[in-house]
């Protein structure tokens, strides 16, 4: 087999596994069962022939059950726990239950070992068996890239594990965040300028310059600058950073709606404030030979490294 053929085969296997995962997740969200027509509607990119192959495979492995309801074939996903109980030993049941309790936030291997009282070798063996049965999966956490957390196979990891929209392959998307930061600020500033032009009364202008996170989210969504689907909460997180930077203010209405508005800086940014020493609260104690000195300043070192990297 050529390298190209191997690559195509690997890609096809990965695609098939992804579709299996999606069908199982779809079945989990429809406990009363789902028809082949419904699957085709929910996963239109999956060819009918490949869908039939995957369904037959899941039927053979005992992941789904087949029922005839009024002449329509209905597929119901068996609970993962039922599969474990049916084919597993006591150790598998214990480990599975511990992982199930953790939900989509997952659980560290160390914590599983503590709760199960299994040795490292026993636990590794059980985890491998459950992974092969596609009952559980290991997910890397952005909080500790060298460690993995375990959760049920069909669950989507919590944003605290994946880092949400701000991470891609465990790397923080600083440039993407900076673009969103600029666009959110631009929207608030435009709304602020428009309110000033239309409303001569300063109080009315201030009230009309407020925008909700939903307003800003719709603006960002219409721009189409994000490859990932952002939520209102994601946009609100960015807006909160503008508040922390004193570029916007936050207000909560009587009905608990959170609003944001642009704030015009009272002073222009001075170059010295961009330098760590310019805003250092202990600058007066800094000297060449003192306890606080440039040679050991982590802030100055970090700033210089960023400057070198960007040069």
Residue by residue, DSSP assigns 41-102 as HH-TTS-HHHHHHHHHHHHHHTSEEEEEETTEEEEEEPPHHHHHHHH--HHHHHHHHHHHHH
CA–CA distances in Å: residue 222 to residues 32, 35, 201: 37, 35, 31
pLDDT in tens, 16-71: 667 877 887 787 778 788 888 888 888 888 888 888 888 888 777 667 778 877 78
Burial class (CB in 10 A: 0-12, 13-18, 19+), 182: exposed
pLDDT interval class at 170 (50, 70, 90): low
pLDDT in tens, 232-285: 888 888 898 888 888 899 998 888 889 999 988 765 555 555 667 766 766 777
Length of the chain: 311
CA–CA distances in Å: residue 34 to residues 74, 196, 241, 276: 5, 55, 43, 60
The CATH 1.10.10.10 portion of the chain extends over 3-78, 81-162, 172-262
The fold for domain 81-162 equals Arc Repressor Mutant, subunit A (1.10.10)
Nearby residues of 266 by Cβ (< 8 Å), 6 or more positions away: none
State residue 57's pLDDT score. Answer: 82
3-state secondary structure of 169: coil
Q: Which of 174, 172, 184 is nearest to 242 (CA)?
A: 184
Residue 82 or residue 218, greater confidence: 218
Residue by residue, DSSP assigns 93-144 as HHHHHHHHHHGGG-EEHHHHHHHHT--HHHHHHHHHHHHHTTSEEEEEETTE
pLDDT of 229 strictly over 70: yes
* Best mean pLDDT range from 77-81, 102-106, 288-292, 299-303: 102-106
User: Is 40 within 8 Å of 51 (Cβ atoms)?
Assistant: yes
User: Is 87 within 8 Å of 56 (Cβ atoms)?
Assistant: no
Cα(261)–Cα(241) distance, rounded to whole angstroms? Answer: 13
State residue 2's pLDDT score. Answer: 44
State residue 3's pLDDT score. Answer: 39
Write phi, then psi, for 119 (nearest 5 degrees). Answer: -75, 165
pLDDT of 165 strictly over 70: no
User: Is 116 within 8 Å of 127 (Cβ atoms)?
Assistant: no
Burial class (CB in 10 A: 0-12, 13-18, 19+), 75: buried
pLDDT interval class at 1 (50, 70, 90): very low
Nearby residues of 176 by Cβ (< 8 Å), 6 or more positions away: 166, 226
Cα(287)–Cα(5) distance, rounded to whole angstroms? Answer: 65
Is this structure's pTM higher than 0.85?
no
* Best mean pLDDT range from 192-206, 208-222, 233-247, 254-268: 208-222
pLDDT interval class at 198 (50, 70, 90): confident
Query: Which CATH number is associated with domain 3-78?
Result: 1.10.10.10
Please determine, looking at this structure, whether the domain spanning 172-262 carries the CATH number 1.10.10.10: yes
């Amino acid at each position: 087999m050529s390298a190209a053929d191997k690559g195509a085969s690997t890609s096809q296997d990965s695609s098939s596994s992804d579709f299996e995962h999606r069908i199982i997740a779809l079945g989990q969200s429809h406990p009363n069962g789902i028809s082949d027509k419904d699957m085709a509607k929910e996963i239109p990119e999956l060819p009918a022939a490949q869908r039939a192959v995957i369904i037959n495979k899941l039927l053979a492995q005992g992941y789904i059950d087949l029922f005839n309801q009024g002449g329509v074939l209905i597929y119901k996903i068996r609970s993962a726990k039922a599969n474990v109980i049916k084919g597993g030993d006591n150790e598998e049941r214990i480990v599975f239950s511990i992982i199930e309790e953790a939900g989509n936030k997952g659980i560290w291997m160390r914590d599983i070992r503590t709760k199960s009282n299994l040795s490292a070798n026993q636990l590794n063996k059980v985890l491998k068996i459950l992974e092969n049965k596609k009952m559980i999966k290991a997910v890397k956490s952005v909080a500790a890239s060298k460690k993995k957390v375990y959760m049920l196979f069909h669950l989507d990891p919590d944003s605290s594990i994946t880092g949400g929209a701000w991470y891609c392959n465990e790397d923080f998307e600083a440039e993407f965040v900076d673009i969103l930061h600029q666009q959110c600020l631009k929207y608030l500033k435009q709304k602020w300028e428009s309110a000033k032009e239309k409303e001569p009364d300063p109080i009315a202008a201030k009230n009309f310059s407020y925008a909700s996170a939903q307003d800003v989210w719709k603006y960002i969504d219409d721009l189409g600058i994000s490859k990932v689907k952002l939520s209102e909460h994601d946009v609100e997180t960015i807006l909160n950073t503008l508040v922390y930077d004193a570029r916007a203010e936050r207000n909560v209405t009587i009905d608990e709606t959170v609003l944001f508005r642009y704030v015009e800086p009272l002073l222009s940014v001075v170059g010295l404030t961009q330098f760590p020493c310019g805003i250092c609260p202990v600058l007066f104690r800094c000297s060449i030979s003192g306890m606080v000195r440039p040679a050991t300043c982590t802030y100055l070192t970090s700033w210089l490294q960023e400057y070198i990297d960007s040069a």
